[in-house]
Amino acid sequence: MRTPFVAGNWKMNKNVAEARNLVNELVPELRAVDNVDIVLCPPFTSLMAVSAVLEGTNIGLGAQNMYWEKSGAYTGEISPLMLAEFCEYVIIGHSERRAYFDETDKSVNQKVKAALNNNLHPILCVGETFEENEAGRTEEIVTRQVQKGLLDLEGLFSENAGSSLTIAYEPVWAIGTGKAATADGASDVISNVIRTTLSKKLGDDFSQSVRVLYGGSVKGNNAAEFFSNEEIDGALVGGASLKASDFVLIVKAASMS
């Protein structure tokens, strides 16, 4: 049994005061949820403030990106060591980073490696674009992203693989568009492409223990449908994680799944 996992990706939203307010609303609402791993990923500038509010709660903290070197002359970058002071998780290879900031399978792989080497739990994002989907290339693209993102990682996973890595299947055409994939469509890619690739690469036990989330227009009113599918272990939530009442609904749907 894989524990449900719901992560909120705030993207480039909220200043420190707004971030504190949102977390102060979430903490009491989610306090009683003890069967879901809940993670918030605010912008770097709010990590410290949010981490103080989350101290001693059942909600974990993640970043949205990082560089792979530990320190040095890399102006503007944030290292895994810096994040590990506040966070347990880090989102790697989000489609917005691949599309707007030229992230490649190679840089994504370097970041996943650096996260694992520095006690951070990577949430590796994969997913095809609208054009790739239309051209019937979903399997090819997602297989490549999983294979290359996880290149040469053997030995870096803790005994319980599921606690060291999470994958988020986020079809790019479903992100921020209000047009979510169907639960069956997402489950098909998760089971036949992502888990099959994981299994070939790292073995069946590994593949079965890793949590695979769905992301792309998950809302309070469609979350339960995704979570009732046994292949979908939770969600990476963008827009709906910015409002406490919406995010709470999604976490509660996961808790009841």
2 versus 219: smaller Cβ distance to ligand PGA: 219
List residues binding ligand PGA (CB under 6 A). 9, 170, 175-176, 215-218, 236-240
Cβ-closest position to ligand PGA: 238
Our CA dihedral for 89, 95, 100, 102, rounded to 10 degrees, sits at 80
C-alpha 44/C-alpha 105 separation (Å) is: 23
| Least gap, CB of 238 to ligand PGA (angstroms) | 2
- Residue numbers annotated as active site: 94, 170
Q: Which is nearer to ligand PGA, 173 or 206 (CB)?
A: 173
Could you tell me the smallest distance in angstroms from the CB atom of residue 202 to ligand PGA? 24
Distance from C-alpha of 234 to C-alpha of 205, rounded to nearest angstrom: 19
Comparison of 19 and 202: residue with beta carbon closer to ligand PGA: 19
Q: How far is the CB of 214 from ligand PGA (least distance, A)?
A: 10
What CA–CA distance (Å, rounded) separates 143 from 148?
8
* DSSP annotation string for 94-109: -HHHHHHS---HHHHH
d(CA 133, CA 146): 17
Q: Quick one: how far is CA 97 from the chain centroid?
A: 13
Question: Residue 195 has which token pair?
Answer: 């888990």
Give the Cα separation of 239 and 230 in Å (integer).
24
Please state the closest distance from residue 209 (CB atom) to ligand PGA, in A.
23
- Least Å from the CB of residue 253 to ligand PGA: 14
DSSP 8-state secondary structure symbol assigned to residue 135: T
By beta-carbon proximity to ligand PGA, the closer residue of 138 and 241 is 241
The residue among 219, 126, 161 whose CA lies nearest residue 2 is: 161
Q: Which is nearer to ligand PGA, 202 or 232 (CB)?
A: 232
